[in-house]
Amino acid sequence: MMGNNCEKTFGPAAFLSRVGLGRRIVELEPGNTFFTQGEPADSVFCLRQGRAKVSVVSEQGKQATITLLFPGDFFGEESLGTAPGPRLATAIAVNRCTAFKMKREEMIRVLHRQHNFSDQFLSYLLARGMRTQADLADHIFSSSEKRLARVLLLMAKAVRPEDPQAMIPPITQETLGEMIGATRSRVSFFMNRFRDLGLISYKERIRVHKPRLQAVVLGQFA
Using an 8 Å Cβ cutoff, are 77 and 12 in contact?
A: no
Q: Give the pLDDT of residue 1.
A: 47
Using the predicted structure, report yes or no on whether residue 28 has a pLDDT greater than 90.
Answer: yes
Tell me the sheet residues that pair with 75: 45
CA distance 161 to 172: 22
Domains 6-132 and 142-217 share a fold: no
Q: CATH number for 142-217: choose from 3.40.30.10, 1.10.10.10, 3.30.160.100, 1.10.510.10.
A: 1.10.10.10
Using an 8 Å Cβ cutoff, are 50 and 95 in contact?
A: yes
Q: Where are the domains of the chain?
A: 6-132, 142-217
Give this prediction's pTM.
0.73
Using an 8 Å Cβ cutoff, are 128 and 164 in contact?
A: no
Q: What percent of the chain has pLDDT over 70?
A: 88
Using an 8 Å Cβ cutoff, are 156 and 208 in contact?
A: yes
pLDDT, mean of residues 57-70: 85
Task: State the pLDDT confidence band at 10, using cuts at 50, 70 and 90.
Answer: very low
Q: How far is CA 144 from CA 171, 181, 184, in A?
A: 17, 7, 12
CA distance 31 to 53: 10
Using the predicted structure, report yes or no on whether residue 42 has a pLDDT greater than 90.
Answer: yes
Task: State the pLDDT confidence band at 52, using cuts at 50, 70 and 90.
Answer: very high
DSSP secondary structure letter of residue 107: H
Packing angle of the helix pair 173-180, 144-159 (nearest 10 deg): 120
CA distance 114 to 77: 17
DSSP secondary structure letter of residue 114: -
Strand order in the sheet with 165-167: 165-167, 206-209, 200-202
CA distance 32 to 97: 9
CA distance 17 to 100: 7
Using an 8 Å Cβ cutoff, are 18 and 64 in contact?
A: no
- The reply to whether CATH 2.60.120.10 applies to domain 6-132 is yes
Residues 6+ apart with CB under 8 A from 138: 146, 147, 150
CA dihedral 25, 26, 27, 30 (to 10 degrees): -140
Chain-centroid distance of CA 180 in Å reads 14
Interval 143-177: pLDDT, tens:
888 889 989 988 888 777 777 888 888 888 998 99
Task: State the pLDDT confidence band at 9, using cuts at 50, 70 and 90.
Answer: very low
